Structure 1
């Protein structure tokens, strides 16, 4: 059993099983109930995680601005320069990640059971918004289901190619182009999102850095900040790659 009570192997198996449903739905087949491990806990956790990432990470809520608003602000500060706006978005979100990683790591082992779940959710929310804002300034419509799924796929990096392959989608070019070429129906995209949620949960469960590196008070805060900044940097670079410029902003 991994961190936060999540077994990374079970989460990976669940993601693979769910991916087969995507293939069936894309071919016009009925979505059958997947025989997944820990139906109540693991499946529910994956669904809730994805819903929060989409609802808050992309659309925003309360003090957490939407990706569209972040994109508009960055473009304004960059005076319309798209690539400069993307650099601003990456810089600002890495700064947010540094603060979050440092604060949640300050207490070390004694506060980790409470602080780490909050940091994990915050990290993925920040990564989601950074990716979605990057897509927006490059000209993508964040209301399109394919774009929203592509944003989530970017969070899991190299694992996304494997997941798309199992789902019967050939990953040629960016994640957005792969999903668009696959012409997945809405039900299949919803199941794909759940599979992504399983993969994200699997990463949480297998996080060695999170388990041991942040267990030391004060030092854990510094390490948490470094790790989050580094990982957000990778996600930001991947986002720029997966969402190449389109002809017209706001497509």
Structure 2
């Protein structure tokens, strides 16, 4: 894997799981929502709703701590979307009882960022999701398979940086671009949460 892409994936996973600056750790997010919920599932839905709403307000925010350390030149706004998506997915994994510091779960958190495409990547690797034994299956994924999954995730995340002119629209038409950016961020984070619910069942 290209070393810069590998570093990007590490950056996203680290900030998404451990938090940084205004972004709390995934464990803290999970604890906060579980404390106010009647069940784990309610807490998960609460995390997704809260993160989706907060993501809609990040269209103009580019001051996430650590943004200057990004190893690859992608727009700061997109990097924040990735970090918020990873934070959401990791909080869901924590609520479902997964070890969010394991290599396998870190990869699954990243995989949640590419939605249904990520689930297809798992299927082609012979990994079943959406079953009661998903936790055991994920915990046993060998390192060689994790590397291949990470490669596919990295490629898709970099490709997304230039998709549909969203980034250019933000740059050249600030007000309209901000609205489009907020809509993109909210939809992206919500999709990450829904994907994580299926992966971490």
TM range (shorter): 0.7 to 0.9
Between the aligned partners of 1:222 and 1:133, the Cα distance in structure 2 is 27
Q: Find the residue that maps to 2:75 and give its secondary structure.
A: helix
Mapping of residues 1-251 of structure 1, within 5 Å: 43-78=2-37, 80-103=38-61, 117-164=75-122, 169-174=125-130, 177=134, 180=137, 183-212=140-169, 215-244=172-201
Q: Deviation string for 1:170-213 (max 9, x for gaps)? A: 14224993992694333542453243212211121334333336
Which runs of 5 or more residues in structure 2 are unaligned? 63-73
Higher RCO (CA-CA < 8 Å; seq separation 6+)? 1
Residue correspondences, number: 189
- Say if 2:75 and 2:167, in contact at 8 Å, map to a contact too: no
| Residue of structure 2 equivalent to 1:15 | none
Between the aligned partners of 2:138 and 2:92, the Cα distance in structure 1 is 21
- Say if 1:53 and 1:128, in contact at 8 Å, map to a contact too: yes
Between the aligned partners of 1:84 and 1:164, the Cα distance in structure 2 is 26
Between the aligned partners of 2:5 and 2:113, the Cα distance in structure 1 is 14
- Say if 2:27 and 2:94, in contact at 8 Å, map to a contact too: yes
Q: Deviation string for 1:14-35 (max 9, x for gaps)? A: xxxx6xxxxxxxxxxxxxxxxx
Offset at 1:96? 2.4
Q: Find the residue that maps to 1:100 and give its secondary structure.
A: coil
Superposed CA RMSD: 2.7
Assess, with a 3 A threshold, how the Cα gap between structure 1 residues 173 and 163 changes in structure 2: closer, same or farther: closer
- Say if 2:51 and 2:190, in contact at 8 Å, map to a contact too: no
Assess, with a 3 A threshold, how the Cα gap between structure 1 residues 192 and 69 changes in structure 2: closer, same or farther: same
Which runs of 5 or more residues in structure 1 are unaligned? 1-17, 19-42, 105-115, 245-251
- Say if 1:150 and 1:179, in contact at 8 Å, map to a contact too: no
Offset at 1:135? 1.3
Assess, with a 3 A threshold, how the Cα gap between structure 1 residues 141 and 82 changes in structure 2: closer, same or farther: same
